[in-house]
């Protein structure tokens, strides 16, 4: 990345497309989009060398709103698409964007294995504790007593899932939480996540103003985490398991596991392999 | 087929060593200048259960097993009876059993086959470290005309690491077998040949599929293991890095197909291999590849379904899911090799087509051809290499249209890294630039172009293998591994004076109505042959093509293979 010859100085605007977002006014995802473009500008990455990959959901719409290469696939499968892309094309910077439903429910298995595989990807999850796109059902991060969904009018009734604890346990190499109410901080954290080798997990609290209007209060509830980044997974786990989910603004864990990147180095001709079959 | 052939089976319990002996026999026969076709059956145990190796040897290339086996050698009979349906015998067959291992099971003897005793275990004991399977090998070799000098060479090469003593022991046991069988009743003997074997291969269908992928240009593979497709992936795993490619083991088939979509979006021709259960999981993402126009190849080595079915045995019953399994109108390619050898060509062609047409290709092989080993002529290299159309230089201020509505329907495809061509690939319906759209006109235009690029393409003569009498009024229509027995049936029918033609369809979808009509010109009756319970291929042909008035269908489910004799009988008894 750093070796790229800079054509010109890029600004955040250079990473935005002309496509108008379909999001509701006030949706937290606008800030996350802005933060991504700022992060890319701060790294001065040529747009053609960046890809943003997503699944399905409101938050998963981000690729088309950027001017880099984008891939908008099917629900829950963004991480495998990004994994294949990065392994086939290690020269690219690959970001993955999506929601709590896309990433932790239908795509939950890929989430575990992406953390474990530790390919050099930056995964940005806009967590609004709801399925926004399908008009308000409980997601894996929804509190069990939330009664706002027609599908589970008495509340989901099952404990919510702690994505960062799971990410840590599964082997993610970089873990951070931030809030869409502070886009500059989100941009800074995404910048660090892109720079850090291996799989980086960034949880962004991003309110769904339409189906979880009470989340408008989040901007008053979040606080800058009082602790600094650690490379000690046990300590990070203890902190994550005891916090209330509103400690934001900091990188919580940075590991030093080498990224998984099988090398495509052989230069034999396919015809050379025919020796396998000769009598 | 053509020439002379001999068919034999070696069977025994786990530890009897029939697979080892069978492989040695195949290797020796190949060196002797014969062609070979070998399949295996094993019991349900994960490791070391009873096994049977079915081997056919001949003086010409072979595409299937015969109707019956000339020779069955039971090193012992424990549980071997469960293979009976796969080992058809007749009164002209010979069963060799070890009297010390008990009676030959009734499921074999009721064929009327002649029986003869060979005390394999006792004979093996007469040589230090001798093993009964080598005695069996010797008996068979002597009976079918395989000479000792070739066998010595094979034993030397394969047992090199075990040392001289092991070679000597095997050879002594082998000789004891040859001697003991010297005046056994005759089975067909193949003539010695002086054939030049330097241009022959010993290869399985699954290996040939892997080789075809590499020849076609595949350099990224995502893998999730499943019987009987795993060997395609396991062959590719060490092969890919040698040629500058990469294989990744994925967490499931949802991941493997999406990984190859990602790799291919990045510009690297990509493939995965699976079997029915995995294909079922992949169907949503196959639709994504179609809609987002990302070239991918999925190999389905079919096994008995539905559900987990019979994992280790063959059936041709994934045709419906391959053709119709995707939701929405999602035109894509479905291809099927017509032999072990053709796994290579068809896979290579599939890569070429997927790349040229920017769509998903499903290649339907099956357990029978995938796990069969053939000694066959080396497969010549053909020029089909994946080639994607890249966009031309853009005029100043012109936006790149990833999904441009071109005359051919193929829109030049940029790959990440190309400056000025950034776009978002999308499974959402979109307009020409790729921006999501819910307008009827965009949907219509994109559906049209995705269909047009497939239907307007010239697939040449490769859509089917057409053989036999050009003016025949009778045709056999078939696909996949059923093409092997059909080819043999065709030869027998023609040798008996019947005018018949054979059409083995390689390009299942998109359909080729004009070429099909041309191939069937003058044909008044058609026999459709396949290995599925419901006759999926027959129904597909009926829905898609004009068939002559007289149509008969010969179809049954797996795992029993269609035999050439059954096809011959259907044609000759057609009144
Ligand atoms: C296979 C499949 N199942 C269900 C859906 C319907 N669906 C679309 S988005 C979505 C949930 C999205 O929730 P989340 O990922 O949290 O994104 P948000 O809209 O909240 O940003 C669902 C269930 C789908 N598109 N595909
Ligand atoms: S429904 Fe919620 S998540 Fe979706 S755009 Fe509207 S506010 Fe955002
Ligand atoms: Mg959500």
Distance in angstroms (rounded) separating the CA atoms of residues B251 and B249 = 7
CA-based diameter of chain B, in Å? 89
* Chain A CB within 8 Å of residue B254 CB: yes
Compute, in degrees rounded to 10, the torsion defined by CA atoms A237, A239, A242, A244: -110
Interface test with B, best of A48, A52, A88 (most B CBs within 10 A): A88
Q: Average per-residue pLDDT in chain A? A: 96
Distance in angstroms (rounded) separating the CA atoms of residues B470 and B466 = 9
Spacing, Cα A126 to ligand 3 middle (Å)? 7
The answer to whether the beta carbons of residues B21 and B154 sit under 8 Å apart is no
Distance in angstroms (rounded) separating the CA atoms of residues B414 and B392 = 9
For residue B414, tell me if it sits in a domain.
yes
Distance in angstroms (rounded) separating the CA atoms of residues B70 and B248 = 45
User: Which of B64, B63, B82 lies closest to B13 in space, CA to CA?
Assistant: B82
For residue B486, tell me if it sits in a domain.
yes
**pLDDT of amino acid B63:** 87
Which B-chain residues 409-438 have CB contacts (< 8 A) with chain A? 416-428, 434-436
Q: Are strands A122-127 and B246-249 parallel, antiparallel or unpaired?
A: unpaired
* Chain B CB within 8 Å of residue A5 CB: no
Token readout for B66 is: 């015969």
Please check whether residues B277 and B362 belong to one and the same domain: yes
Going residue by residue through chain B, which has 575 residues, state the pLDDT in tens, using 9 for 90 and above.
Answer: 568 999 999 999 988 999 999 999 999 999 999 999 999 998 778 777 889 999 999 999 998 999 999 999 999 999 899 999 999 999 999 999 999 999 999 999 999 999 999 999 999 999 999 999 999 999 999 999 999 999 999 999 999 999 999 999 999 999 999 999 999 999 999 999 988 999 999 999 999 999 999 999 999 999 999 999 999 999 999 999 999 999 999 999 999 999 999 999 999 999 999 999 999 999 999 999 999 999 999 999 999 999 999 999 999 999 999 999 999 999 999 999 999 999 999 999 999 999 999 999 999 999 999 999 999 999 988 889 888 999 999 999 899 999 999 999 999 999 999 999 999 999 999 999 999 999 999 999 999 999 999 999 999 999 999 999 999 999 999 999 999 999 999 999 999 999 999 999 999 999 999 999 999 999 999 999 999 999 999 999 999 999 999 999 999 999 999 999 999 999 999 97
Query: What is the domain-level CATH number for residue B318?
Result: 3.40.50.970
A140 in ligand 1 pocket by Cβ < 6 Å?
no
**pLDDT of amino acid B49:** 85
* Chain A CB within 8 Å of residue B245 CB: yes
Please check whether residues B147 and B270 belong to one and the same domain: no
Domain ranges of chain A: 12-278
Sign of the dihedral through C-alpha A72, A77, A83, A84? negative
Please check whether residues B266 and B163 belong to one and the same domain: no
- Strands (DSSP E) found in chain A: 50-54, 69-72, 93-99, 122-127, 174-179, 200-205, 223-224, 247-248, 250-254
Please check whether residues B417 and B342 belong to one and the same domain: no
**CA-closest residue to ligand 1 atom 13:** A131
**pLDDT of amino acid A2:** 45
**pLDDT of amino acid A1:** 42
The answer to whether the beta carbons of residues B31 and B197 sit under 8 Å apart is yes
**pLDDT of amino acid A239:** 95
Looking at CA atoms only, how far is residue B555 from chain A in angstroms?
A: 34
Q: Which of A64, A73, A89 sits opposite B435 (nearest CB)?
A: A64
Distance in angstroms (rounded) separating the CA atoms of residues B223 and B272 = 6
User: Which of B230, B223, B291, B227 lies closest to B253 in space, CA to CA?
Assistant: B223
A99 pairs with which residues across the strands? A126
Contacts of residue B486, defined as CB under 8 A and 6 or more positions apart, other chains included, come to B476, B478, B502, B504, B529, B562, B564, B567
Query: What is the domain-level CATH number for residue B156?
Result: 3.40.920.10
**pLDDT of amino acid B1:** 54
Please check whether residues B129 and B213 belong to one and the same domain: no
For residue A133, the chain B residues in CB contact (below 8 A) are none
**pLDDT of amino acid A196:** 98
Distance in angstroms (rounded) separating the CA atoms of residues A226 and A23 = 33
* Chain B CB within 8 Å of residue A266 CB: yes
For residue B281, the chain A residues in CB contact (below 8 A) are none
Q: Locate tokens 């990065």: which residue?
A: A86
Please check whether residues B401 and B329 belong to one and the same domain: no
Distance in angstroms (rounded) separating the CA atoms of residues A119 and A114 = 7
Domain tally, chain B: 4
Distance in angstroms (rounded) separating the CA atoms of residues A41 and A21 = 20
User: Which of A213, A224, A228 lies closest to A246 in space, CA to CA?
Assistant: A224
Q: Locate tokens 């939701």: which residue?
A: B327
For residue B431, tell me if it sits in a domain.
yes
Compute, in degrees rounded to 10, the torsion defined by CA atoms A53, A55, A56, A60: -30
In this complex, do B417 and A81 lie within 8 Å of one another by their Cβ atoms? no
Q: What are the pLDDT digits (tens) for A200-255?
A: 999 999 999 999 999 999 999 999 999 999 999 999 999 999 999 999 999 999 99
Token readout for B190 is: 């193949």
Q: What are the pLDDT digits (tens) for A23-78?
A: 999 999 999 999 999 999 999 999 999 999 999 999 999 999 999 999 999 999 99
User: Which of B118, B115, B38, B51 lies closest to B80 in space, CA to CA?
Assistant: B51
Domain that includes residue B485, residue range: 462-572
Rounded to 5°, angle at Cα B482 from B374 and B256: 75
**pLDDT of amino acid A7:** 57
Please check whether residues B500 and B401 belong to one and the same domain: no
In this complex, do A77 and B285 lie within 8 Å of one another by their Cβ atoms? yes
User: Which of A126, A77, A137 lies closest to A106 in space, CA to CA?
Assistant: A77
For residue B60, tell me if it sits in a domain.
yes
Please check whether residues B437 and B467 belong to one and the same domain: no
* Residue B17 CA, distance from chain mean position: 25
First to last CA, chain A: 48
Spacing, Cα A26 to ligand 3 middle (Å)? 15
The answer to whether the beta carbons of residues B338 and B366 sit under 8 Å apart is no
For residue A74, the chain B residues in CB contact (below 8 A) are 258, 284-285, 287-288, 427
**pLDDT of amino acid B383:** 86
**In what order do the strands lie in the sheet containing B474-479?**
B464-468, B500-505, B474-479, B525-530, B550-555
Residue A2 CB-density burial (10 A; 0-12 exposed, 13-18 middle, 19+ buried) = exposed
Backbone phi and psi for residue A95, each to the nearest 5 degrees, phi listed first: -110, 150
In this complex, do A266 and B241 lie within 8 Å of one another by their Cβ atoms? yes
Q: What are the pLDDT digits (tens) for A75-100?
A: 999 999 999 999 999 999 999 999 99
A12-278 in CATH: which number?
3.40.50.970
**pLDDT of amino acid A3:** 47
A139 in ligand 1 pocket by Cβ < 6 Å?
yes
Which B-chain residues 14-43 have CB contacts (< 8 A) with chain A? 27, 30-31
Quote the DSSP letter at residue B168: H
For residue B285, the chain A residues in CB contact (below 8 A) are 73-74, 77
**pLDDT of amino acid B2:** 67
pLDDT above 70 coverage of chain B, percent: 100
The answer to whether the beta carbons of residues A63 and A54 sit under 8 Å apart is yes
Please check whether residues B260 and B373 belong to one and the same domain: yes
A70 in ligand 2 pocket by Cβ < 6 Å?
no
Query: What is the domain-level CATH number for residue B562?
Result: 3.40.50.920
User: Which of B252, B262, B250, B209 lies closest to B231 in space, CA to CA?
Assistant: B209
Distance in angstroms (rounded) separating the CA atoms of residues B94 and B115 = 6
C-alpha to C-alpha distances, A54 to A103, A141, B241, nearest whole angstrom:
10, 19, 29
Q: What are the pLDDT digits (tens) for A121-171?
A: 999 999 999 999 999 999 999 999 999 999 999 999 999 999 999 999 999
Q: Which of B202, B287, B427 sits opposite A277 (nearest CB)?
A: B202
Spacing, Cα A135 to ligand 3 middle (Å)? 10
- Strands (DSSP E) found in B351-473: 360-366, 373-377, 424-426, 464-468
Q: What are the pLDDT digits (tens) for B94-113?
A: 999 999 999 999 999 999 99
Please check whether residues B240 and B153 belong to one and the same domain: no
User: Which of B300, B304, B305, B389 lies closest to B350 in space, CA to CA?
Assistant: B300
Looking at CA atoms only, how far is residue B249 from chain A in angstroms?
A: 10
- Other CB atoms within a 10 A radius of the CB of residue B40 amount to 17
Which of B404, B430, B457 is the last residue in one of the domains?
B457
Q: A-B interface: how many C-beta pairs under 8 angstroms?
A: 197
- Other CB atoms within a 10 A radius of the CB of residue A252 amount to 25
Interface test with A, best of B262, B281, B400 (most A CBs within 10 A): B262
For residue B212, tell me if it sits in a domain.
yes
Which A-chain residues 53-112 have CB contacts (< 8 A) with chain B? 53, 63-64, 66-74, 76-77, 79-89, 91-92, 109-110, 112
Please check whether residues B156 and B269 belong to one and the same domain: no
For residue B288, the chain A residues in CB contact (below 8 A) are 73-74, 77
Quote the DSSP letter at residue B103: P
CB < 8 Å & 24+ apart, contacts of B541-550: B541/B477, B544/B511, B544/B513, B545/B511, B545/B513, B545/B516, B545/B517, B546/B513, B546/B517, B547/B520, B548/B520, B548/B523, B548/B524, B549/B524, B549/B525, B550/B524, B550/B525, B550/B526
User: Phi/psi class of residue B260: alpha, beta or left (left: φ > 0; alpha: ψ in -120 to 50)?
Assistant: alpha
The size of chain A, in residues, is: 279
What ligand 2 atom has the least distance to the C-alpha of A128?
Answer: 3
Contacts of residue B141, defined as CB under 8 A and 6 or more positions apart, other chains included, come to B25, B28, B148, B151, B174, B177, B178
Please check whether residues B314 and B425 belong to one and the same domain: no
A61 in ligand 1 pocket by Cβ < 6 Å?
no
For residue B533, tell me if it sits in a domain.
yes
A29 in ligand 2 pocket by Cβ < 6 Å?
yes
Backbone phi and psi for residue B263, each to the nearest 5 degrees, phi listed first: -65, -40
Distance in angstroms (rounded) separating the CA atoms of residues B95 and B113 = 7
């Amino acid at each position: 990345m750093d070796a790229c010859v800079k054509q010109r100085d890029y600004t955040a605007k250079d990473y935005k497309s002309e496509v108008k977002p379909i999001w509701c006014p006030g949706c937290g995802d606008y800030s996350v989009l802005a933060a991504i473009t700022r992060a890319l500008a701060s790294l001065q990455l040529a747009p053609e060398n960046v890809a943003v990959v997503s699944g399905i959901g409101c938050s998963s719409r981000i690729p088309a709103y950027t001017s880099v290469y984008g891939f908008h696939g099917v629900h829950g499968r963004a991480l495998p698409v990004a994994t294949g892309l990065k392994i086939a094309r290690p020269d690219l910077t690959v970001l993955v964007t999506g929601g709590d439903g896309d990433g932790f429910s239908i795509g939950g298995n890929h989430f575990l294995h992406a953390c474990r595989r530790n390919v050099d990807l930056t995964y940005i999850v806009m967590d609004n504790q709801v399925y926004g796109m399908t008009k308000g059902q409980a997601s894996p991060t929804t509190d069990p007593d939330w009664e706002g969904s027609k599908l589970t009018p008495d509340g989901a009734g099952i404990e919510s899932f702690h994505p960062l604890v799971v990410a840590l346990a599964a082997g993610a190499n970089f873990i951070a939480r931030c809030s869409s109410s502070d886009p500059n901080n989100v941009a800074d954290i995404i910048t660090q996540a892109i720079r850090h080798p291996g799989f980086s997990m960034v949880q962004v609290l991003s309110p769904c103003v339409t189906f979880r209007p009470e989340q408008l209060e989040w901007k008053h509830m979040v606080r800058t985490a009082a602790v600094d980044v650690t490379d000690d997974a046990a300590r990070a786990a203890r902190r994550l398991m005891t916090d209330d989910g509103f400690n934001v603004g900091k990188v919580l864990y940075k590991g030093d596991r080498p990224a998984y990147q099988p090398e495509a180095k052989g230069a034999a001709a396919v015809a050379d392999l025919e020796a396998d079959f000769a009598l | 087929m053509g020439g002379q052939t001999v068919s034999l089976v070696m069977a025994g319990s786990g530890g009897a060593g029939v697979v080892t002996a069978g492989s040695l026999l195949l290797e020796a026969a190949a060196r002797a200048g014969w062609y070979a076709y070998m399949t295996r059956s094993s019991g349900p145990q994960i490791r070391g259960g009873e096994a049977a190796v079915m081997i056919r040897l001949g003086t010409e290339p072979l595409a299937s097993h015969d109707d019956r086996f000339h020779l069955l050698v039971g090193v012992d009979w424990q549980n071997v009876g469960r293979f009976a349906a796969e080992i058809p015998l007749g009164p002209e067959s010979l069963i060799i059993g070890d009297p010390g291992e008990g009676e030959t099971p009734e499921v074999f003897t009721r064929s009327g086959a002649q029986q003869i005793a060979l005390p394999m275990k006792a004979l093996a004991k007469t040589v230090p470290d001798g093993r009964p399977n080598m005695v069996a090998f010797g008996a068979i070799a002597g009976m079918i005309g395989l000479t000792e000098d070739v066998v010595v060479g094979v034993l030397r090469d394969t047992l090199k690491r075990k040392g001289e003593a092991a070679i000597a022991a095997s050879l002594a046991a082998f000789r004891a077998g040859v001697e003991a069988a010297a005046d056994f009743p005759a089975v067909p003997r193949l003539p010695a040949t002086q054939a030049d074997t330097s241009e022959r291969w010993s290869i399985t269908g699954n290996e040939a599929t892997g080789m075809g992928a590499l020849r076609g240009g595949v350099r990224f593979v995502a893998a999730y293991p499943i019987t009987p497709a795993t060997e395609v992936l396991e062959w590719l795993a060490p092969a890919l890095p040698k040629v500058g490619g990469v294989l990744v083991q994925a967490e499931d088939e949802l991941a493997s197909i999406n990984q190859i979509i990602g790799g291919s979006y990045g510009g690297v021709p990509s493939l995965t291999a699976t079997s029915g259960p995995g294909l079922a999981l992949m169907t949503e993402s196959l639709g994504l590849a179609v809609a987002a126009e990302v070239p991918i190849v999925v190999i389905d080595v079919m096994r008995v379904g539905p559900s987990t079915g019979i994992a280790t045995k063959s059936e041709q019953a994934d045709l419906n899911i391959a053709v119709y399994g995707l939701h929405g109108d999602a035109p894509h390619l479905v291809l099927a090799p017509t032999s072990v050898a053709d796994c290579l060509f068809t896979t290579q062609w599939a890569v070429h087509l997927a790349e040229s047409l920017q769509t998903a290709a499903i290649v339907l092989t099956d357990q029978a051809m995938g796990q069969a080993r053939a000694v066959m002529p080396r497969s010549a290299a053909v020029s089909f290499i994946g080639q994607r159309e890249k966009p031309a230089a853009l005029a100043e201020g012109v936006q790149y249209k990833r999904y441009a509505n071109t005359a051919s329907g193929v829109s030049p495809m940029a790959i990440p890294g190309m400056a000025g061509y950034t776009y978002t690939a999308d499974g959402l319906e979109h307009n020409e630039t790729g921006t999501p759209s819910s307008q009827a006109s965009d949907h219509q235009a994109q559906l049209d172009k995705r269909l047009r690029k497939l239907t307007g393409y010239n697939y040449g003569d490769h859509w089917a293998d057409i053989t036999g009498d050009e003016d025949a009024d009778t045709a056999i229509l078939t696909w996949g591994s059923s093409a092997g027995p059909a080819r043999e049936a065709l030869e027998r029918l023609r040798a008996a004076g019947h005018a018949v033609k054979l059409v083995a369809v390689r390009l299942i979808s998109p359909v080729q109505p004009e070429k099909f009509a041309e191939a069937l010109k003058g044909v008044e009756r058609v026999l459709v042959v396949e290995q599925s319970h419901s006759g999926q291929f027959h129904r597909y042909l009926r829905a898609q093509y004009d068939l002559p008035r007289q149509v008969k269908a010969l179809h049954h489910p797996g795992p029993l293979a269609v035999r050439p004799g059954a096809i011959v009988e259907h044609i000759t008894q057609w009144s």
